[in-house]
């Protein structure tokens, strides 16, 4: 038998072009439509960045105003979606809830089969507007709290925090949250985006692509890692002496051959381009909530992981503690990632459809040789 080379996990294999973002591990940079993500995080709102990712250009004042008006008008949750969310068990993982809610929205939308670029953009913008209501409400219902109606005098991030906590959020918190949304929005052919593109390539619909992408994001090797980071912090435990406990925890986790969540990356091998910006936001939140012990654990674990394995943090490492400080429940962290990445997923669905080829790679068979059912 001749040995045929295979590319396990498609590692290092380019499978298509994209004009949406450029991940460059050599220069440790990430560009959205040509703009460095750090500049966008410093100077733009998440709404502007979403517009950029979908349209390819930053919006003019009039374009932004029209998009913001659309987004604010579509924030509410219809009765049917709310009723179905209410029927799901309170123990259901929030990723399962958000996946189901997107599926319900798709099943109820008469436009689902219409796949013109205009119809898909409209669906993408409506999903973008509705996801905060779903994610916020799911966290609240687990605490026995009612749905909080959106406020159309607030921008996307301020309203997201308002709908989750039912209190007017402080500006510093809104800014840190907005930065996290911008950083999470897009990252080329990661596993969930590739899933969305595979689904789109069969000429299925945009909601199916997003539903599948949510399933792919849930896993701890991908988006589920932001939640898993906080499980590690919980295992390390609160209180004084966090740095020593973090190092001891790491030693035993590595001895048990556990993967340390929030570290490592398929593409970046010298650190994730988004981490310094997210870490700044996290440090602002540590100061804002006066929780220096959390930063102590963060720094100790990062340093020990560098010394023991020479593996650097990815975006999920600073994002997890940031969301924890803001008051989000740990299982809500990955749905926050969904609310942001829906922009990237839907931009990729539209890009895939604009120049589609069915995605269908080959496999190399290594099962038993041909054989025959014995004659009876």
Ligand X SMILES: O=C([O-])CC(=O)C(=O)O
Residues interacting with ligand ACO, by CB under 6 A?
Answer: 220-223, 225, 259-266, 309, 311, 314-316
- Look up 122 and say whether it is catalytic: no
End-to-end CA distance of the chain: 32
Distance CA 61, CA 67 (A): 10
Distance CA 300, CA 251 (A): 12
Residue span 241-280 as binding mask against ligand X, x where in contact by CB under 6 A, dash where not: ------------------------xxx-------------
Distance CA 359, CA 78 (A): 35
Q: Which is nearer to ligand X, 187 or 348 (CB)?
A: 187
Residue 311's binding partner among ligand ACO, ligand X, none (Cβ under 5 to 8 angstroms by kind) is: ligand ACO
Q: How far is the CB of 248 from ligand ACO (least distance, A)?
A: 16
Interface residue with ligand X among 130, 187, 218, 324 (CB under 6 A) is: 187
Alpha-helical (H) ranges within 59-170 are: 61-73, 79-87, 94-108, 117-142, 156-165
Q: How far is the CB of 98 from ligand X (least distance, A)?
A: 17
Residue 123's binding partner among ligand X, ligand ACO, none (Cβ under 5 to 8 angstroms by kind) is: none
Residue 253's binding partner among ligand ACO, ligand X, none (Cβ under 5 to 8 angstroms by kind) is: none
Which of these is catalytic: 187, 265, 324, 348?
265
Q: Which is nearer to ligand ACO, 85 or 182 (CB)?
A: 182
Residue 83's binding partner among ligand X, ligand ACO, none (Cβ under 5 to 8 angstroms by kind) is: none
- Look up 152 and say whether it is catalytic: no
Which residues are 22's β-sheet partners?
31
Burial label for 290, CB within 10 Å (0-12, 13-18, 19+), is exposed
Q: How far is the CB of 257 from ligand ACO (least distance, A)?
A: 8
Interface residue with ligand X among 38, 120, 190, 322 (CB under 6 A) is: 190
Distance CA 109, CA 116 (A): 15
Residue 36's binding partner among ligand X, ligand ACO, none (Cβ under 5 to 8 angstroms by kind) is: none
Q: How far is the CB of 185 from ligand ACO (least distance, A)?
A: 12
- Residue nearest to ligand ACO according to CB distances in the complex: 264
Q: Which is nearer to ligand X, 139 or 180 (CB)?
A: 180
Number of residues that bind ligand X (CB under 6 A): 7
**Structure tokens belonging to residue 309:** 């394995």
Which of these is catalytic: 187, 222, 324, 348?
222
* 340 touches ligand X (CB under 6 A): no
Alpha-helical (H) ranges within the chain are: 37-43, 46-55, 61-73, 79-87, 94-108, 117-142, 156-165, 171-184, 191-201, 206-218, 225-236, 242-255, 275-288, 292-309, 316-326, 333-354
Distance CA 59, CA 205 (A): 27
- Residue nearest to ligand X according to CB distances in the complex: 190
Q: How far is the CB of 323 from ligand ACO (least distance, A)?
A: 13
**Structure tokens belonging to residue 212:** 């599948």
- Look up 231 and say whether it is catalytic: no
Q: Which is nearer to ligand X, 266 or 288 (CB)?
A: 266
Q: How far is CA 371 from CA 45, 96, 186, 313, 367, in A?
A: 62, 42, 48, 50, 11
Q: How far is the CB of 266 from ligand X (least distance, A)?
A: 5
Q: Which is nearer to ligand ACO, 217 or 353 (CB)?
A: 217
Long-range CB pairs of 110-115, under 8 A, 24+ apart, other chains included: 112/205, 112/206, 112/207, 113/205, 115/203, 115/205, 115/206, 115/353
Active site residues: 222, 265, 316
């Amino acid at each position: 038998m001749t040995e045929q080379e295979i590319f396990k996990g498609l590692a290092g294999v380019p499978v298509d072009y994209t004009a949406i973002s450029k991940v460059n591990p050599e220069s440790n940079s990430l560009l959205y439509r040509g703009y460095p993500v750090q500049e966008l995080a410093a100077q733009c709102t998440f709404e502007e960045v979403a517009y950029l990712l979908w349209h390819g250009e930053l919006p003019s004042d009039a374009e932004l105003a029209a998009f913001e008006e659309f987004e604010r008008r579509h924030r509410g949750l219809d009765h049917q979606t709310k009723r179905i969310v209410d029927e799901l068990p309170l123990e259901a993982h929030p990723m399962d809830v958000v996946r189901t809610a997107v599926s319900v929205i798709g099943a109820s939308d008469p436009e689902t089969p219409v796949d013109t670029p205009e119809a898909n953009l409209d669906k993408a913008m409506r999903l973008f507007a509705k996801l905060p209501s779903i994610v916020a409400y799911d966290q609240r219902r687990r605490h026995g709290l009612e749905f909080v109606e959106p406020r159309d005098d607030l921008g996307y991030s301020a309203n997201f925090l308002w709908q989750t906590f039912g209190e007017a959020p402080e500006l510093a918190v809104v800014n840190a949250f907005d930065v996290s949304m911008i950083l999470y929005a897009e990252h080329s052919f990661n596993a969930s985006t590739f899933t969305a593109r595979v689904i789109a390539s069969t000429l299925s619909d945009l909601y199916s692509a997003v539903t599948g992408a949510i399933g792919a994001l849930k896993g701890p090797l991908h988006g589920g890692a932001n939640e898993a980071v906080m499980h590690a912090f919980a295992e390390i435990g609160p209180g004084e002496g966090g740095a020593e406990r973090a190092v001891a925890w790491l030693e035993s986790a590595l001895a048990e051959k556990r993967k340390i969540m929030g570290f490592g990356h398929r593409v970046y091998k010298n650190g994730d381009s988004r981490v310094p910006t997210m870490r700044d936001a996290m440090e602002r939140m540590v100061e804002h909530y006066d929780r220096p012990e959390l930063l102590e654990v963060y720094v100790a674990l990062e340093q020990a992981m560098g010394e023991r394995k020479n593996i650097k943090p990815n975006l999920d490492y600073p994002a997890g503690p940031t969301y924890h400080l803001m008051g989000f429940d740990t299982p809500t962290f990955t749905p926050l990632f969904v609310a942001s990445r829906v922009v990237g997923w839907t931009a990729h669905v539209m890009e895939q459809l604009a120049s589609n080829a069915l995605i269908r790679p080959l496999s190399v068979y290594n099962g038993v040789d041909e054989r025959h059912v014995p004659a009876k």
